[in-house]
Amino acid sequence: MNRKYTYILLVLLVTTGLFYLEKYVDSTQTPTPTVSETSQSESSEFDASFFPSSTTGVVIDHTNYSLSYSEDHEQAEWVAYEIQKDHLSQNEFKRPYFIQDNKVRSESADWRNYKNSGYDRGHLCPAGARRFSLDAYNETFLTSNISPQDHGFNSGIWNRLEQKVRRWAQQHDGVFVITGGVLKDGLKTIGKERVSVPNEFYKIVIDASGKEPKAIAFLIPNRDTSQSYFDFVTTIDAIEAKTGIDFLQGLPDEVEQSMESTVQASYWGKK
């Protein structure tokens, strides 16, 4: 056979072999999230008035949560989401890979920044609160929804608080949550993209089922602790002072001021 044709045949064989090998390898790996527009329940007591301001101007609306992305810190300054009673589910789904958020034009940080960093890829909108559908669950594995968390913190007090929030959602017929790390200059960073490691994380939980909305706020150091999350209850005003974010900005002034300046821990079960 002419050497020219022999060479062309070999190239075709190698190319075909590599194509099928790639298909095989992909099929054996854990699937990446595929997110479709699965709507939440139509009924909601929370509207845009409960959302905070954005200090970055980069607000991303996903199907099951919204966020304000900080490119300087390569993570969200806040993630906001509702947990309705019909969201509470014990469905078990296979954990997908984390993938970048294609809605963030500057690109959200690659998950490899966290590899061998000593920090967990800590969810802000927790996967455990989105087990009512596979799409909603997968959506929490976008890297815009994670922040570097100490393992003891992530698996300990933060996890316990997330579970408590879901119980409050059951008790109060749904709650609204705003959460994130306290982002500021001079934080430790990880990875090639220099993802900031917050020293503290906050969580604000709101119940609007009564005549007047009630809120409870937490500001917790990013480290392992055996203390109760109730030991870290604070005012929303205190979190605003640290973050520069205006929470509950759309509510009437008198309601906003009352909710942000007072601690209503007894309403939430703290004795």
Task: Give the domain CATH number at 48.
Answer: 3.40.570.10
Q: Would you state the pLDDT for residue 7?
A: 55
Whether the CB-CB separation of 57 and 70 falls below 8 Å is answered with: no
Q: Would you state the pLDDT for residue 25?
A: 36
State whether 55 and 152 are in the same domain.
yes
State whether 142 and 46 are in the same domain.
yes
Q: Would you state the pLDDT for residue 27?
A: 35
Averaged pLDDT, 22-46: 43
State whether 128 and 2 are in the same domain.
no
State whether 86 and 193 are in the same domain.
yes
Cα torsion angle, 60, 62, 67, 72, sign: negative
At 21, the pLDDT band (50, 70, 90 cuts) reads very low
Q: Which residue has the higher pLDDT, 249 or 31?
A: 249
Whether the CB-CB separation of 223 and 154 falls below 8 Å is answered with: no
Q: Would you state the pLDDT for residue 211?
A: 85
State whether 119 and 175 are in the same domain.
yes
pLDDT above 90 (res 4): no
Averaged pLDDT, 109-120: 96
Alpha-carbon distances of 5 from 8, 16, 18, 236, rounded to whole Å = 5, 16, 20, 74
Alpha-carbon distances of 17 from 5, 8, 92, rounded to whole Å = 18, 14, 36
State whether 16 and 40 are in the same domain.
no
State whether 25 and 61 are in the same domain.
no
Q: Print burial letters for 120-153: b (CB count within 10 Å at least 16), e (below 16).
A: bbbbbbbbbbbbbbbbbbbbbbbbbbbbbbbeeb
Q: Would you state the pLDDT for residue 86?
A: 85
CA distance 264 to 135: 35
Averaged pLDDT, 218-227: 97
Q: Would you state the pLDDT for residue 210?
A: 82
Q: Could you give the percent of the chain with pLDDT greater than 90?
A: 72
- Structural domain containing residue 15: 1-30
State whether 166 and 256 are in the same domain.
yes
Q: Would you state the pLDDT for residue 15?
A: 52
State whether 66 and 172 are in the same domain.
yes
How many structural domains comprise the chain? 2
Query: Residue written as tokens 């300054």?
Result: 77
State whether 109 and 218 are in the same domain.
yes
State whether 42 and 125 are in the same domain.
yes
Averaged pLDDT, 87-106: 92
| Angle formed by the axes of helices 253-261 and 236-243, nearest 10° | 90
pLDDT, tens digit, 9 for 90 and up, residues 155-181:
999 999 999 999 999 999 999 999 999
CA distance 179 to 172: 19
State whether 115 and 221 are in the same domain.
yes
Q: Would you state the pLDDT for residue 30?
A: 37
Coil/strand/helix, residue 115: coil
pLDDT above 80 (res 74): yes
Query: Residue written as tokens 């490119």?
Result: 71
Work out the mean pLDDT of the chain and round it to a whole number: 87
Q: Would you state the pLDDT for residue 39?
A: 40
